[in-house]
């Protein structure tokens, strides 16, 4: 199953803006997509491993491999389009 990982931090305004959208799509795509969040302050090694330089960054994985990513606060239609492209 594809995985969407949201890299974020509590001090990041754009991260807080898209957090409700991430929660909404997690419910909408339940059973089709796994949604996870990584706080870059709490898990800096994971952020470094995937070269996350700016947040929010959303990375899509399939079979453990990075398939796509988006940097910045996406609106819901753009987020859903990205998800559909990676299902």
Q: Is 13 a catalytic residue?
A: no
Q: Is 70 a catalytic residue?
A: no
51-67 as b/e: b if 16+ CB within 10 A: ebeebbbbbbbeeeeee
Out of 4, 5, 15, 47, pick the active-site residue.
15
Looking at residue 43, what DSSP letter applies? -
Q: State the CB neighbour count (10 A cutoff) for residue 73.
A: 19
Out of 12, 52, 59, 73, pick the active-site residue.
12
Annotated catalytic sites, by residue? 12, 15
């Amino acid at each position: 199953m594809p995985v969407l990982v949201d890299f974020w931090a509590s001090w990041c305004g754009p991260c807080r803006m898209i957090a409700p959208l991430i929660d909404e799509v997690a419910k909408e795509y339940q059973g089709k997509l796994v949604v996870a969040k990584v706080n870059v302050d709490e898990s800096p090694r994971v952020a470094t491993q995937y070269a996350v330089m700016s947040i929010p960054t959303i990375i899509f994985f399939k079979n453990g491999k990075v398939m796509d990513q988006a940097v910045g606060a996406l609106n819901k239609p753009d987020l859903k389009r990205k998800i559909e492209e990676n299902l």
